[in-house]
Structure formats: structure tokens, C-alpha cells
Amino acid sequence: MSERVIPLIDQRLQTRAVPIPAQAIAATGQLRDARGRALRDLRISVTDRCNFRCSYCMPKEIFDKDYQYLPHSALLTFEEITRVAKVFVAHGVQKLRLTGGEPLLRKHLEILIEQLAALRTVDGAPLDITLTTNGSLLRRKAQALKDAGLQRVTVSLDGLDDAVFRAMNDVDFPVADVLDGIAAAQAVGLGPIKVNMVVKRGTNDDQILPMARHFKGSGVVLRFIEYMDVGATNGWRMDEVLPSAKVIERIHREMPLVPLEQAAEGETAQRWAYADGSGEIGVISSVTQAFCSDCNRARLSTEGQLYLCLFASEGHDLRHLIRGDASDEDLASAIASVWQPRADRYSELRASLPPDSTPGKRRVEMSYIGG
């Protein structure tokens, strides 16, 4: 086996300024891209920092004590995030997901949540506001998050075996503390809770059945995610991907499953219910089964760069408009001018290539724009 080489790349530098179009583009709630896909889901990174060092996201070889994070002055303020979110909502966004890094490391995050919870969709309905976390700070934060208006949380948990989990987070964090955080979130009504497990063949795939057994009947929706080629620092190889179909086969042999319909347009997970009615699981098959055709998600980095795909190689700088003299109408026009020509379909392109091949340029790191 060849030695693993991790390139030193700062993806934050690969951005382009977004001009204000000469012809205004009004926000009607019906914005579509070049493939006819609506804009419905905005994922907002609130920090580039994390207290875990998972090998598939923020490996220690890169994110060590000398790694230079963004200065606080570069981060969008809560008021700036709320302003730009309001403009996205005017274009049709219905769901906001706060990500990181680890979003609960951002101080006073509940203030931002309270501001976002006051927004309404173009139809006057409350937004679906959720947050993805590694769960390490969830117990102490759960009540404040709920009180501020957060509706749901998704917790990343890659195994129940403590040795496996400590090895994967690479900071020796115990699985029991994450489970405590999940219990606390359930107790305050942050649900339905989803738990995401990234499955890496040969590393934690022996945790599939223990995880399914543990969360079956708990009210928690467990989702298995194929190990993805996001960014350039995780040393991704196709032979470490366990196809979701194999995950379903393993579970079905012990705990029979029946397929469920898609819950919403653009949903990434294929849903399965336990045949005995004791809950459901999901699989996210971004490597073996592309779902680009109805992707309705945009991603805003912590310092105001807009990314149109999880596998993007370039961002679009909105911060200079947010901090300049651009009006909300100018900002709406600029966002529309980026989304309308969007034709991203990375996973579809990857699927057409031979095994172990990946298309295109260097890609942005997942730790920078969230999952």
C-alpha cells in the first residue's frame, strides 16, 4: 500500500467576488438553477473550529496546534448571518441548518437561533431550523437551544464501541458523553433527532449492527453515510467505501426493513422502516447513487462565501456585499446571479468514471462548509 499523502491546501482562498447585476433580479421565492432545481435549503457554517479530529474531516496531520483558523473579525456576525438568511428566504429557502466545524463552539449561538427563528418563509410559515453537532456540548446547551427556537438536531456518531469511537474522533472523547447529549436533546424536545454515522470500511463498519440495535425503538432516526471524497485532506479511497446497499443488507438480515417514500423534495436519505413498526433508518449514498438531479441546497461559509455544492472547488464571495453598501435588493440580485447558472452535478460525474477516479479540481473541505 502506498504511503498516505495529505496535501496542504487552504480552500478558503479559492473564491470569486460576486458583482451586483446591472439588471436587478427580484426575489420571488421561485429561484431556479440551470437544471430547474429550486433553492430550498441553506446550510450556514458558524465556525471553522472543531474539538474533534475525525480522520475523514479534520485529520490531526493538517489541523494541528499550528493550524491558522479564521480570525474572529473575518466571521460573519449574527446580524450579518440573519440578514443574508432573510434574503435567501425571500428566494424560496425553507430550511436553515447550522453547521461548522462544531457549531456549538460559537459563543452565544442561541442569540443567532433566536434571530433566525423570527424569520418567515414567502408563504408566512416558520422556517425549519436545525443544527448538526458532534454532541460533545449538547447536554449543557440543549435547553438554551430549544428555548431560542431550534427545532431539531442531527448528531454525528460513528460507533458505539468506545475504543472505535475514541479512535475515530482522535481526541479520546468518550461515546457515553455523546449519548448523554442525545438524551438531553430528547428530553427538551429537540426532535425528531437524527444520528449520522459515516461508515468507513475496515474502520467502523462493525458498528453498523450495534448502532441499529441501540437506536431501534428509541425515536431516534439513524442514518448511515457513505464515506465521501470531500476535500483533499482525508486520504479518501474508493475501497474504503461500503455501499449503502450492503449496509441495508446487513441490517435487514437481523431486523427486517421495508422501504419508505421520500419525505421531501431534494431529501438526500433513502428511508427504510423496521417491519415491526419500531422506527426507521436512512442511508445517504452520495458515492454509489448520485442525488444531484434534485439537489436544492446552498452552503454559506462562516465568513460569507457561497458554495453551490458540497464538492465545490470554488466559492462566491458575498461578504464584500454584506459589509459594503449593497442593499438587500442588491444582495438578492447577486445571489440569484450565482444560483441561476448553477449546473453542479459532481456525484453524477464521479459515477460515470472508472473506480478510484474522481473528476475535476481540488474541492473545498467539509470542515469549512459543513456536511
Convert 285-317 into a string of H (helix), E (strand) and C (coil): CCCCCCCHHHCCEEEECCCCEEECCCCCCCEEE
In this structure, is residue 247 part of a structural domain? yes
* Mean pLDDT computed over 11-31: 85
* Mean pLDDT computed over 13-37: 91
Q: Is the pLDDT of residue 302 over 90?
A: yes
215: three-class secondary structure by DSSP: helix
For residue 6, name the pLDDT band (cuts at 50, 70, 90): very low
In this structure, is residue 4 part of a structural domain? no
In this structure, is residue 2 part of a structural domain? no
Looking at the chain, the whole-number percentage of residues with pLDDT higher than 90 is 72
For the ranges 82-86, 99-103, 112-116, 355-359, the lowest mean pLDDT is seen at 355-359
The values of phi and psi at residue 194, to 5°, are: -110, 140
In this structure, is residue 110 part of a structural domain? yes
Would you list the DSSP string of 32-65? B-TTS-B--EEEEE--S--S---TTTS-TTTSST
The rounded Cα 47 to chain-centroid distance in angstroms is 13
For residue 4, name the pLDDT band (cuts at 50, 70, 90): very low
Q: Across the chain, what does the average pLDDT equal?
A: 89
Query: Which one has a higher pLDDT value, 1 or 337?
Result: 337
* Mean pLDDT computed over 191-214: 94
**How far is Cα 336 from Cα 21, in angstroms, rounded to an integer?**
9
**How far is Cα 282 from Cα 215, in angstroms, rounded to an integer?**
12
Q: Is the pLDDT of residue 147 over 80?
A: yes
* Mean pLDDT computed over 142-168: 95
pLDDT digits (tens, 9 = 90+) for 214-257: 999 999 999 999 987 655 555 557 778 899 999 999 999 999 99
Angle between helix axes 138-148 and 175-188 (nearest 10 degrees) is: 20
Q: Is the pLDDT of residue 12 over 70?
A: no
The values of phi and psi at residue 87, to 5°, are: -70, -40
In this structure, is residue 1 part of a structural domain? no
For the ranges 39-43, 177-181, 205-209, 357-361, the lowest mean pLDDT is seen at 357-361
For the ranges 53-62, 213-222, 347-356, the lowest mean pLDDT is seen at 347-356
Q: Is the pLDDT of residue 15 over 80?
A: no
Strand ranges inside the chain, DSSP E:
15-17, 41-45, 95-99, 128-133, 152-156, 194-199, 221-226, 257-259, 270-274, 280-284, 297-300, 305-307, 315-317
* Mean pLDDT computed over 29-48: 97
- Classify residue 134 by burial, with Cβ atoms within 10 Å: 0-12, 13-18, 19+: buried
In this structure, is residue 56 part of a structural domain? yes
pLDDT of residue 229: 61
* Mean pLDDT computed over 34-43: 97
In this structure, is residue 268 part of a structural domain? yes
pLDDT of residue 366: 60
* Mean pLDDT computed over 326-339: 98
In this structure, is residue 3 part of a structural domain? no
* Mean pLDDT computed over 296-311: 93
Q: Is the pLDDT of residue 364 over 70?
A: no
**How far is Cα 91 from Cα 28, in angstroms, rounded to an integer?**
6
For residue 9, name the pLDDT band (cuts at 50, 70, 90): very low
For residue 291, name the pLDDT band (cuts at 50, 70, 90): confident
* Mean pLDDT computed over 357-369: 60
Q: Is the pLDDT of residue 343 over 50?
A: yes
Q: How far is CA 26 from CA 92, 273, 320, 341, 352, in A?
A: 12, 42, 20, 16, 37
CATH number at residue 196: 3.20.20.70
- Contact by Cβ (8 Å): 6, 233: yes
pLDDT digits (tens, 9 = 90+) for 67-108: 999 999 999 999 999 999 999 999 999 999 999 999 999 999
Q: How far is CA 329 from CA 10, 86, 315, in A?
A: 32, 11, 21
For residue 353, name the pLDDT band (cuts at 50, 70, 90): low
* Mean pLDDT computed over 291-299: 90
For the ranges 50-59, 105-114, 241-250, the lowest mean pLDDT is seen at 50-59
**How far is Cα 50 from Cα 57, in angstroms, rounded to an integer?**
10
* Mean pLDDT computed over 18-47: 96
* Mean pLDDT computed over 330-354: 85
Helix (H) or strand (E) holding 164: helix 162-169
How many domains is the chain built from? 1
pLDDT of residue 275: 98
Structural domain including 243 reads 11-369
